[in-house]
Structure 1
Amino acid sequence: MLSAKRNISAFIKILLIIGFGYFFWLMLTITLEYIPFDPNASFLMIKQTEVHNKSEYIWFFYTHVYTSIFVLLAGFLAILKRNFGIRNFHKNAGKIYIILILLLAAPSGIYMGIFANGGFLSKLSFVILGCLWWFSTFKAYLLARQKNFKKHKHWMWRSFALTISAITLRMWKVIIVYLFQPNPMDVYQIIAWLGWVPNIILIEYLIMKKHL
């Protein structure tokens, strides 16, 4: 029985690695659309008002795009230590993850949220997301400095749940557009919240049930 449980656990872990690898590759292909630097590339085509009227927007945008892909990877490598038995990556990957979020990815994300498509509701969601992302990561950092590693782990999971909103947001977009074909601006308002709220609810449930 014990051997069967271990085999199932190992199988689930392998599936998680494969699943993350697949979605990470999709995010990487999106990032590569913005290399080389081009103010008219992809998503920026519908943000020309900001690009031309706010000179700093393009720099915040590219800062967010270029750092977020490394945040995703570093965050996943950091959680491998406990869950997959790979210890060497945890400390250094965690440092990279925290530094990139606190100094670059979250601040640039908050700025971009102010100009998000979809009106006030979308803007509000993305600004809240960015602030919670920064705070949860900073809290995890402080707890690690205090050597309170149990609570540090919980806050890192909260942070990573917000990090992967970059993935879940796009998943929800595909599902909603396929099923309901709503107005594009309505899509932004819906996925702006669906991208991260279910993630954080799930993590809180798992923490409460002591599964993390």
Structure 2
Amino acid sequence: MKAILKQIAWILTATAILYGAWLMLLLTIPYAAFERYTDFLLTKQRVYHILHWRISFYIHIFVSITVLLAGLLQFSKYLLDNFPRLHRNCGKVYALVVIFLSGPTGLIMGFYANGGIYARISFVLLSVLWIIFTILGWKRAMQGRWPEHITWMLRSYALTLSALSLRFYALILGWMHMPLRPVTAYITISWLSWTVNLLLAEWLIKRMLIKRMNLPA
């Protein structure tokens, strides 16, 4: 029964992430025109002329789907058991994109984030931790230290999902009509978007450690 519930939980989680990735794709398509006055870019007119910010922005949004999907596949036991080579290749794609594209571009964008210094600190810290966790996960895989590899990659993917949770919390705050100034609301969700994910990841890691030690949960 527990195995069935675990499988159902995986399917529901994967479905939610895939749906979020689909919505992200729909949001990304308009930017393919490279027009200055497109959606989110309307709030970035003061920095749009900065070349390294602009390059970072377009790279970051266009590779986001790749990271979400490649990372999700890493946690498929079916894929690991039946297609280990595909699992490894997806892992390489995920790690390389995060370490060399998504992470660095997110870091650059973080220094120019809306919401002032507190939001900037959040996004910069998010990007730095994202890169570090992914490097550690990759390194542990190269060393064959698989339990540690899993925990670091779980932390890394928790931060990857901040792209979805940021928009989720923005919707929640909008629906609740909370009396917050726009700047305060944005600062709040900038921190919630990844800290809550990371706490959930640590909870899952703790459960895995307890199970490994054969202790009662």
Q: TM-score, normalised by structure 2?
A: 0.89
Q: Which runs of 5+ in 1 are unaligned?
A: none
Q: In structure 2, what residue type is equivalent to 1:150?
A: P
CA contact (8 A) 1:158 1:203 kept: yes
SS for the counterpart of 1:75 is helix
- After TM superposition, the structure 1 = structure 2 runs for residues 177-188 of structure 1, keeping only pairs within 5 Å, are 177-179=174-176, 180-188=178-186
In the other structure, the counterpart of 1:70 is: 66
Q: Distance in 2 between matches of 1:83 and 1:177?
A: 38
CA contact (8 A) 2:14 2:72 kept: no
**Separation in structure 1 between the aligned mates of residue 34 and residue 124 of structure 2, nearest angstrom:** 25
Counterparts of 1:133 and 1:193, CA distance in 2: 14
Mark the runs of 5 or more structure 2 residues left unpaired by the alignment.
212-217
Q: Are the counterparts in 1 of residues 166 and 190 from structure 2 also a CA contact under 8 Å?
A: yes
2: CA distance, partners of 1:28 / 1:103: 21
Question: Is the CA contact 2:80–2:87 (under 8 Å) kept in the aligned structure 1?
Answer: no
| RMSD between aligned residues | 1.8
- TM-score, normalised on structure 1? 0.91
Partner of 2:77: 81
In the comparison of the two structures, how many residue pairs are matched?
Answer: 208
Using the alignment, how far apart are the partners of 2:100 and 2:11 within structure 1? 32
Which SS does the other structure have where 1:49 is aligned?
Answer: coil
CA distance in 1, matches of 2:129, 2:136: 10
Q: 1:98 to 1:84 in 2, by over 3 A?
A: closer
Residue number in structure 1 paired with 2:198? 200
CA drift at 1:37: 2.2
Looking at structure 2, the residues matched to 183 and 208 of structure 1 have their Cα atoms a distance apart, in angstroms, of 37
SS in 1 for 2:208: coil
Deviations 1:91-116 (A, max 9, x none): 11100000001111000000000010
